[in-house]
């Protein structure tokens, strides 16, 4: 984790004069919090949040987005699979865009996970005519556009909901290839049966609302 923080500090310093790094510890029970606190001594731009108990990905990401300040908000997981260098090509094409998505090419995950992601992304692309292939990848949002599209979804679908909303408003959404690394530590959580059911519910509810819209 400390290496990920330092890498993103260095990448951000090369691109912007002012920035902040916000990390949220989602109720970890190992040494993650102590390591993050040590990182504060060498990364002045680091700000830490901590969930008192495990909340999961959607609530944690929503908290991070709400806490972020500045014109642009970049999200990346803390596992290091997306290297800090991925920010530079996304940053380079941000002008005029509401959102820039990093397409992981090639994606270094187990085949089963890649296939599931492709099916999910392909379905949403077909239904909503999206210009993005890697829907659940890292993203660089213009802050005002992100906050103009608060999602209703409680599942992992919430980020796809934001993307769909921005595209339906004809905001500029771009995608660019970024590097991706194999996982070298930790265990990928994947999608639990309960999480999959919740996502299916959110997708169905959102799709019905979208199809009934008169201004679609």
User: Can you give 112-134 as a three-state secondary structure string?
Assistant: HHHHHHHHHHHHHHHHHCCCCCC
Please give the pLDDT value at position 99: 98
CATH of domain 2-212: 3.90.550.10
Which tokens hold the place of 169? 């408003």
Please give the pLDDT value at position 132: 94
Residue 106, preceding peptide bond in cis (omega within 30° of 0)? yes
> What pTM does this model have?
0.89
Looking from the CA of 110 toward its CB, the CA atoms found within 13 Å total 8
Q: Are 81 and 180 in contact (CB under 8 A)?
A: yes
Please give the pLDDT value at position 59: 92
pLDDT tens string, the chain, 216 residues long: the values are: 778 899 999 999 999 999 999 999 988 888 888 888 888 888 999 999 999 998 988 999 999 999 999 899 999 988 889 999 999 999 999 999 999 999 999 999 899 889 988 998 999 999 999 999 999 999 999 999 999 999 999 899 999 999 999 999 999 999 999 999 987 655 555 556 677 788 889 989 888 888 887 555
Q: Taking the mean position of all CA atoms in its chain, how far away is CA 3? A: 19
126's CB contacts (< 8 A; 6+ apart) are none
Domain ranges for the chain, please list them. Answer: 2-212
Pick from 30, 34, 40, 31: which is nearest to 5 by CA? 40
């Amino acid at each position: 984790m400390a290496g990920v923080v330092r890498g993103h500090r260095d990448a951000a310093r090369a691109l912007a004069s002012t920035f902040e790094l916000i990390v949220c510890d989602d109720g970890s029970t190992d040494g993650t919090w102590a390591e993050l606190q040590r990182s504060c001594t060498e990364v002045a731009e680091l700000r830490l949040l901590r969930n008192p108990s495990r909340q999961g990905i959607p609530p944690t990401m929503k908290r991070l987005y709400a806490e972020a300040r500045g014109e642009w908000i970049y999200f990346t997981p803390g596992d290091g699979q997306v290297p800090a260098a991925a920010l530079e090509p996304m940053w380079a094409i941000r002008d005029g865009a509401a959102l820039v998505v990093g397409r992981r090419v090639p994606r270094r995950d187990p085949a089963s996970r890649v296939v599931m992601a492709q099916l999910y992304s392909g379905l949403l692309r077909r239904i909503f005519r999206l210009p993005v292939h890697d829907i659940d990848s890292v993203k660089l949002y213009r802050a005002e556009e992100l906050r103009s599209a608060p999602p209703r979804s409680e599942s992992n679908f919430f980020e796809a909901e934001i993307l769909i909303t921005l595209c339906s408003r004809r905001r500029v959404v771009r995608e660019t290839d970024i590097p991706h690394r194999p996982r070298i530590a930790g265990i990928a959580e994947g999608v639990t049966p309960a999480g999959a059911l919740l996502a299916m519910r959110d997708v169905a509810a959102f799709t019905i609302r979208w199809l009934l819209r008169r201004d679609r």
